Amino acid sequence: MDIPDYLHRHVHEVVMMESDGAHKRRLWAVILGLVPFRDGGQWCIMLGANVQEGVCGFGKTPEEAMWDFDKAMSKPL
């Protein structure tokens, strides 16, 4: 594909946004359709009845909670 020079920067930005979006769509929280909620002064994503029995992710932002949840899903019992 022949892209004009003045568009190279914009094409790179679009490719990076698409790549980032694809990466985030593979997160467990996104796949399972979980919604982050406030828990005190942080965000939480939880799968299960409660923190003790389920899998949880916490963070200062909803995105941090999603990444923490993804890490928790990869840990053995």
Confidence of residue 19 (pLDDT cuts 50, 70, 90): low
> In this predicted structure, what is the pLDDT of residue 23?
65
Domain map (residue ranges) of the chain? 5-74
Rounded to 10 degrees, the C-alpha dihedral 61/62/64/70 comes to 170
Nearest to 25, CA basis, from 35, 16, 33, 13: 33
> In this predicted structure, what is the pLDDT of residue 15?
66
> In this predicted structure, what is the pLDDT of residue 12?
64
Query: Looking at the predicted structure, is the pLDDT value of residue 22 above 60?
Result: no
Query: Looking at the predicted structure, is the pLDDT value of residue 1 above 70?
Result: no
Query: Looking at the predicted structure, is the pLDDT value of residue 73 above 80?
Result: yes
What six digits make up the tokens of 42? Answer: 């942080």
